[in-house]
Amino acid sequence: MQSADVQRPPTPEKRSHRVGSANPTDVRSKSIVTLAGSWLLTGHRQPTPKYKAGNEVWFRPPGDQAYAAFKIANVKKEEDGSFVYQIKGVNDKLYSNGVWVPQKKVKKMDCKEQSYRSVATFLDSDENFMIYRRFGYLHARILLRLQDKLRALEDLLDDLDDEDAAGNETRRSLLWSRDNDEAACKAVTEKVPTALTRTRILDEIEVVLGKYDDWVIKAQQMVSLNKPAERDSKSVEAQLFDRKLLVDEERGFIYQKEDLITLRDGREMAVLDSFTERLIRTFHCPLLQREMEKTNDPDLHYYSKARKDCFNTTILCMVLLALLVLPILVLYKLLNNNPSDRLYTVSIGVVIVFVLVFSAVLSLFTKAKRHEIFAAAAGYAAVLVVFFGNIS
């Protein structure tokens, strides 16, 4: 039997049964025995798969933003000793026509498991649950610290400039030329290495100011993130405390209401989303409940985002259609037969009310800016006024 060099596999899965050695990369003294197509390190047991057929696991399909629950259908070991799996969904159909998925792509998730892994997988399972702390107070403390450092450096720089400006012509010349100033500073530091020169002050300002600018931008980005909806924070709170996934102290971040942010992008129809989600919870609509396979928790329900968006868009289109048809129908009924001054006054009131409702819908259900809402409301009012003028 010949001795062979065994290279340490680069991935955690492939080195799960690495050779015990003071230097893991130096294992020349170990031998490999080949038996029936499998490999075995002398003195070590043969590696076993992390999951078995029937185990429930979580897997993120390519192109999806969240993990979904699957079951292990088949297990196979590759020539390099790593394991791959065929997985199937709740409909018992193999994922992607039975494609073999590497072990590192699969996660084990149990709704009853009390660990940070369960919390992380839950928060990543839906964009509404991506809620974290902003730490605004700590950002403010860091900014104040850097700000005061800059203030002190600025005072030192001003004092040094004032001294040179009040000195002789040679001292004043240091303020006119950077080359002269840096040459003088170099000469001073050669004699007194700890001397505080203008060049050293500016170098320190450059470093601190760069940190300050970075923190200002980071703080501004954190402030611009949206606050989570009350319903989303309550969902995360219920999952953390009802399941007791973490100790009390470490799951208490969800109660820092004023400091919470969500990574979810602001949506155009946030108010409509809130209404439809309450509607879905009340009637438990199975048509929208396509993503139940994400969890084995009977109390945790996921709904298809694409179907919810389609449902919201349908409602919004119906509302806009009603805002176009209803005022025309009302005006026609009022002014079709023997219109009077009183009916004209009522008709003008009808136009005003519908314009206000139209503006409110644009403001609540879209991201339209103020001037865009004003322009759209003016166009809508013009349509109603033209119709009002024709039938009167």
pLDDT of residue 8: 37
* DSSP-derived secondary structure letter, 18: P
Alpha-carbon 226 to chain mean position: 10
Q: b/e string for 177-207 if b means 16 or more Cβ within 10 A?
A: eeeebeebbeebeeeeeeeebbbebbebbee
Cα 45 from Cα 25, distance rounded (Å): 20
CB of 230 closer than 8 Å to CB of 128: no
**351, amino acid identity:** V
Inside any domain, residue 170: yes
pLDDT of residue 357: 92
CB of 323 closer than 8 Å to CB of 341: no
**193, amino acid identity:** P
Tokens of 362: 């644009």
The residue out of 200, 224, 248 marking a domain boundary is 224
Inside any domain, residue 207: yes
The DSSP-derived string for 256-320 is -GGGEEE-SPPPTTHHHHHHHHHHHHHHT-TTT---GGG-S-TT-----HHHHHHHHHHHHHHHH
Q: Give strand ranges (E) for 24-171.
A: 32-35, 38-41, 56-59, 68-77, 83-88, 101-102, 106-107, 131-133
**48, amino acid identity:** T
The residue out of 171, 194, 224 marking a domain boundary is 224
388 and 289, same domain (yes or no): yes
386 and 307, same domain (yes or no): yes
**Strand arrangement, sheet containing 101-102:** 101-102, 83-88, 68-77, 56-59, 106-107
CB of 53 closer than 8 Å to CB of 74: yes
CB of 279 closer than 8 Å to CB of 147: no
Inside any domain, residue 33: no
159 and 279, same domain (yes or no): no
Cα 203 from Cα 98, distance rounded (Å): 61
Backbone angles phi, psi at 68, to 5 degrees: -130, 155
Inside any domain, residue 376: yes
Cα 301 from Cα 282, distance rounded (Å): 13
335 and 220, same domain (yes or no): no
135: left (phi over 0), alpha (psi -120 to 50) or beta: left
Tokens of 266: 């602001």
272 and 390, same domain (yes or no): yes
C-alpha closest to that of 131 among 215, 247, 253, 224: 253
Inside any domain, residue 12: no
Per-residue model confidence as pLDDT tens digits over 288-325: 555 444 555 555 666 666 777 787 788 888 888 999 88
pLDDT of residue 22: 42
Supply the range of the domain harboring residue 170.
136-224
Per-residue model confidence as pLDDT tens digits over 233-256: 888 888 888 778 788 888 888 888
Tokens of 246: 């973490």
pLDDT of residue 119: 84
pLDDT of residue 302: 60
The DSSP-derived string for 355-382 is HHHHHHHHHHHS---HHHHHHHHHHHHH
Give every residue of the chain whose pLDDT is below 50, as ranges. Answer: 1-45, 291-293
219 and 285, same domain (yes or no): no
The residue out of 167, 195, 224 marking a domain boundary is 224
Inside any domain, residue 310: yes
End-to-end CA distance of the chain: 105
Q: What is the pTM of this model?
A: 0.56
pLDDT of residue 19: 38
Query: What residues have CB less than 8 Å from 180, skipping those under 6 apart?
Result: 173, 174
Cα 67 from Cα 347, distance rounded (Å): 55
Our CA angle for 316, 318, 323, nearest 5°, is 95
Tokens of 360: 């409110």
pLDDT of residue 362: 85
Inside any domain, residue 104: no
Inside any domain, residue 251: no
217 and 289, same domain (yes or no): no
C-alpha closest to that of 264 among 255, 256, 275, 273: 273
Q: In which residue are the tokens 């002014």 written? A: 335
pLDDT of residue 48: 78
336 and 274, same domain (yes or no): yes
Total domain count, the chain: 2
